[in-house]
Amino acid sequence: MVLIISKDLEPSTDKVIDWLRYLKVPFRRVNGTDMLNPGHAPTLQVSSKQADMHFNGEASAALSDITAVWYRRDGSKPPDTQAIASLQEAGYYQDVVHHLSQENAIAKKALYALLASHTRILGSFSKSSVNKIEVLINAQQQGLDVPATLITRSKKELQAFMDAHPIITKALWESPGITIQEEKATNYTSYTEEVTPDMLQAIPEEFFYSLFQEKLDKELDLRVFYLDGDCYTMAIFSQMNQQTKVDFRKYANNRNVPYQLPADIEQLIVKLMKAMQLNTGSLDFVKTRTGRYVFLEVNPVGQYDMTSVPCNYQLDKKIAQYLSQHA
């Protein structure tokens, strides 16, 4: 049986499940919200003889039934605060919420540790989110080309960095964005932006830690989906549209086509992913007009449909086949 750990309303998961059904591979899907649902939450048992677990619900399953796990995403939610709403005026409401969140996190880690010791896993329980800078350093150590990068709080150092080449700035971590409720809800998303001389002039002499990188002279943006040693790459003609020149996520109707990376770059990707103990993920590269292949970052749970559909890679089928080989 294949165990899928995902979240509600995750279309990529649904597509893989369609293929598992077609291949007649038994599966069980557990969304993050199920961890807090007594009717579906897993139960763990530990004794001097064994450690075991089973899932409740319409179709029960035990640890011994599970031979492959796909950790797609973790859609866990905070504990149901309605149950403890009466504590709002007691002065320790936030303490109880924090305590329940920690209890839930410990139970979930125990579940993941038990699964990891018994099954083959696609994805990583502990690395669904990674430190961008640690990854960048690791990529450089594995031999990949990376952009010149500065993390600083000093305008003086930033000025010297900008004197050497044009620069961009982006978040140090994957910010989920901000929603501001005024007359209507407005969503603000963090994108990569170019730092202009006017912007630099407006920046104070000291500021909070920020990430800056050289602005690459792009020919193409490249999105690579990695599946246990295989690279599926898409070229994004982001430079044909002013809106997407700096950040291709500012979606426009760009041309996207399959792309074959040089063999040595693919080998370095494999080295990096093995060093990070990741067997899947979405990686971003840039090909510059001078022929450099520059690594930017990796998202262990990144979307792959945006690569699969335009390039006809059928990655949902390949993931289902990968899981079925171990089911």
What pLDDT does 162 receive?
94
What pLDDT does 262 receive?
98
Cβ pair 135, 273 in contact under 8 A:
no
pLDDT along the chain (327 residues), means of 10: 89 95 92 71 77 68 84 72 60 74 80 83 89 94 96 94 92 76 77 87 91 92 96 90 73 86 98 96 96 95 91 96 83
Token pair, residue 186, equals: 């407005």
Cβ pair 103, 78 in contact under 8 A:
no
Q: What is the pLDDT of residues 273-302, one digit of tens each?
A: 999 999 999 999 999 999 999 999 999 998
Cβ pair 126, 74 in contact under 8 A:
no
**In 3-state terms, what secondary structure has residue 139?**
helix
**In 3-state terms, what secondary structure has residue 60?**
coil
**Three-point CA angle 285, 289, 295, nearest 5°:** 15
Over the range 244-264, which residues count as b (16 or more CB within 10 Å of their CB) and which as e? bbbbbeeeeebebeebebeee
What pLDDT does 97 receive?
75
What pLDDT does 60 receive?
61
Number of C-alpha atoms within 13 angstroms, CB side, residue 244?
Answer: 18
Identify which of 6, 19, 2 has the alpha carbon closest to the alpha carbon of residue 320.
Answer: 19
Dihedral over Cα of 45, 47, 52, 58: its sign: negative
Name all domains of the chain by residue range, CATH numbers in brackets.
Answer: 2-122 (no CATH), 148-214 (no CATH), 218-300 (3.30.470.20)
What pLDDT does 270 receive?
98
Distance CA 138, CA 276 (A): 8
Q: How far is CA 313 from CA 9, 78, 241, 276, in A?
A: 22, 36, 25, 25
Cβ pair 164, 223 in contact under 8 A:
no
